Amino acid sequence: MPKPKPNVAAIAGGFALLAVLPVAGLQDSAPTAERPRMAATRVDQGPNVDGDLSDAAWQASEVGTDFMQHEPLDGVAATEQTEVRVVFTDSAIYFGITAFDANPDAIIAREMERDSRVYQDDSIILLLDTFHDRRNAYAFETNLNGARTDTLVTDEGRDLNLEWDGIWSVASRKTVRGWATEIAIPISTLRFDPAAPAWGFNVQRYIAHKREMTHWSGLPREVGVLGQVGSQIQPVHRISMAGELTGLTGLAQSAQLQIKPFVIGDVSEDPRLDLDPATDGDYGLDLKWGVTRSLALDLTWNTDFAEVEVDELQTNLTRFSLYFPEKRDFFLENAGIFDFGPPHRRFYEPPVLKAFFSRRVGLDEGRQVPIDWGARLTGRMGGWDIGVLRVATAGVDRDDGALAPNAFTVARLKRNVGERSSVGAMLTETAPDGELANRVAGVDFVYKPGPKVIFGGFWSSSGISEERSAGARTEAPAASSAAGESAYGLNFDYQGRALTVFLDAQEIEKDHDPGAGFLLRSNVRRLNPQIQWLPRIERGPVRSWFTELYVDYYETLDQGELETRRIEFSPIGMRMTTEDRWRLGYVHETENLFAPFEVSPGVVIPPGRYEFATVEAAAFTNQSRLFGLRGRLGVGDFYGGTQTSGRVSFNFRLSKNLQTETRWAFNDVELPQGAFDVGLYSQLVSLTFTPNLRLNTIIQYDDLSGDLGTNIRLHWIYRPGSDLFVVYNENWMAEDLRRRQSTRRQIAVKFTYLIQP
């Protein structure tokens, strides 16, 4: 007899109450600090962007100073002074930053490549909340080498769009008193509210050689990223605690137009076939129109993504799908607006559900599907966030039959409420030719009563349209009108100085099908509490202790049977004063297989209930050093057998021009049904000639399938917004590397040119 369904709201509410009660007494007694303000100064002529702040334009500007420490001691004045100046013209905003340092020779500057992890060096991050909504912002990072990394920050770091590339310039130089940098951001790069009296503004400085982090608008320690070792979320992304930048008045509101045509040519061959190499060429167009200063319309025609970097190989020993990040430019700007579903807590694991996942568009099992055209309107209007997307893809042939042409439609609307809360709605549709359309509609909310507490929730429902797409000859199946097509959930977050609590609860019904999204599991009820305790020790080499409890529980909705229960307990971990980190953990997992599971070719695990335990150790060294290590090792049981697994990454930052990274992921499994080894090897080499010219090479090998591949990518930004890409790909079958056989070679050249009338 099926078990009754528990009420998700009651479960989450009970968890939230249990969480709040013990932490209520741990609230800080110190009042919230007043946020600083500074004014930008209008100038007739902008400064030369050369890292020298002696230009006349800087002399009359206001100076922002009095930076406060975030690490190692929050609320204490910085040990090194930092000065910020802001001036602007009708066409650009300029930031001049002087980073004083008593020991300039100790400054660490090893990154120069575009979109690298600049924050590991002595670095600066500018945060611009151009709508002053205290939720979303642009982040611009640089260092002494003039490296550029830019990020779109949504909902204070809930979503980070690391792949977005804006048009801006920077120059830095070393001085006898430290270092200085000048940043110029064209007005056309930013979307903003011209009626806003101020922008949210903050500056984060990291003094890598002293391991000291400071901010112009001071941030308490609890704003730090707890437990997310390796995450690129930064404390400065807490937008609601930014200061204010005033004086940006009279900025032109005329429409902006960017036209970027491209041409591409490629030559490819299969060396196993006695055929001449195949040649191909094509062209297309991307267009961006600033409908208003806060709304942007993107159009693309005959789109090609030949320049996109290859995906990193992953091992999958689960019954569920892998998840790969989006890297294609058209889908990146303001991508966070389309975020809908439960929080994605662990960036290194797939999410449970996303109503819209842009890799569903133009990709099929990793292979490119031609995009005929696409249109996207994104931005903000008043207190509303708006996102509308429409993309048409062509049909392609594949081994199991033709993939029909498809039309993807996504609409997102979100209303800001109060200082930090919001309510929203989402609609998606996929309409393949000759098939019934899939539609998903949903609503969500985020309630933030204070800086430490967040409540959120969502509800969505999927269905098959009774109105057939063009050429459809089949009627909707009977199941399309049946119940059980919804997904819904609640979440609670608390982040204090030493204690963090996440509590999530979701139900995803059996027939819920987000055709344009990502779904890890269906017909499940999920409970996912997580508690982290990080008390400060500050004794000898130890900065803080780390203890974590993580539970991920799934049961079937129709029968109430346990499907998965994973309990991770890390009783001991430490963060050292050197910024090295390590932890020891114990994992107990229960898996209930309702059907046979082929975990590896020829190795099939029969249905049944399995329990296994694993002991894990993980380490993460300070990545600002010449040599960096990230690694995890686990030893334990696995489906009635044993498993030894791990992932290790060795990073050598040899100079600002040359860096290498070696990655090794392995699984050694012995089961009653058979034994197998899986090893994934990756070698990355980055050669950066200037911040605008780089050569990246990645070699990847899967020793189980025998797949060996290389991707060599030359990227030259020959003028702002215009690029030349030269990409070489080759794949081999290599069960034995000494007797590898090439299966595909390709070289592609893509040239883009930005036109701004």
Give a three-class secondary structure readout of 247-263.
CCCCCCCCCEEEEEEEE
| 21 found inside a domain | no
What lies within 8 Å, CB to CB, of 192 at 6+ separation is 130, 131, 199, 251, 293, 294
| 655 found inside a domain | no
The 10s digit of each residue's pLDDT in 682-694 is 999 999 999 999 9
Partners of 520 in beta bridges: none
Say how far apart CA 93 and CA 154 lie, in whole Å: 22
Flag whether pLDDT at 13 surpasses 60: no
| 176 found inside a domain | yes
Domain that holds residue 229: 36-246
Say how far apart CA 149 and CA 141 lie, in whole Å: 5
Degrees to nearest 5, angle at CA 610 with 605 and 615? 110
The number of C-alpha atoms within 13 Å of 267 and in the hemisphere containing its C-beta is 6
| 122 found inside a domain | yes
- 292 near 570, Cβ under 8 Å? no
- pLDDT-wise least confident of 7-21, 203-217, 362-376, 665-679: 7-21
Smallest CA-to-CA distance from 112 within 683, 695, 650 is with 695
Looking up tokens 């062209």 gives 283
Degrees to nearest 5, angle at CA 98 with 97 and 99? 115
Q: What are phi and psi of 23, to 5 degrees?
A: -95, -5
Flag whether pLDDT at 554 surpasses 90: yes
Using a pLDDT cut of 90, give the percent of the chain over it: 61
Mean pLDDT computed over 491-498: 90
Mean pLDDT computed over 414-443: 91
What is the count of structural domains for the chain? 1
Flag whether pLDDT at 292 surpasses 80: no
Using a pLDDT cut of 70, give the percent of the chain over it: 91
**Residue 237: DSSP 8-state:** G
Looking up tokens 């329990």 gives 611
| 622 found inside a domain | no
The 10s digit of each residue's pLDDT in 81-123 is 999 999 999 989 999 999 999 999 999 999 999 988 898 999 9
| 391 found inside a domain | no
Structure tokens at 111: 């990154």
Instruction: Reduce the DSSP state of residue 418 to 3 states and report it.
Output: coil
**pLDDT for the residue 434:** 82
Flag whether pLDDT at 301 surpasses 70: yes
| 153 found inside a domain | yes
Partners of 360 in beta bridges: none
Flag whether pLDDT at 737 surpasses 80: no
Smallest CA-to-CA distance from 41 within 29, 52, 30, 55 is with 55
| 298 found inside a domain | no
The 10s digit of each residue's pLDDT in 197-222 is 899 999 999 999 999 999 999 998 87
Flag whether pLDDT at 650 surpasses 50: yes
**pLDDT for the residue 58:** 95
Mean pLDDT computed over 231-257: 83
Size of the chain in residues: 757
Q: How far is CA 688 from CA 255, 657, 720, in A?
A: 36, 5, 17
Q: How far is CA 729 from CA 403, 489, 663, in A?
A: 25, 43, 20
- 386 near 415, Cβ under 8 Å? no
**Residue 13: DSSP 8-state:** H
Mean pLDDT of the chain: 87
Degrees to nearest 5, angle at CA 242 with 79 and 491? 115
Instruction: Reduce the DSSP state of residue 336 to 3 states and report it.
Output: helix
Q: How far is CA 387 from CA 375, 418, 425, 730, in A?
A: 11, 21, 11, 38
Round the CA-based radius of gyration of the chain to a whole number and report it.
26
Flag whether pLDDT at 45 surpasses 80: yes
Flag whether pLDDT at 27 surpasses 50: no
Looking up tokens 């696409």 gives 374
Say how far apart CA 450 and CA 446 lie, in whole Å: 12
What CATH number is given to the structural domain containing 232? 2.60.40.1190
- 122 near 129, Cβ under 8 Å? no
- 36 near 66, Cβ under 8 Å? yes
Mean pLDDT computed over 611-631: 93
**pLDDT for the residue 33:** 55
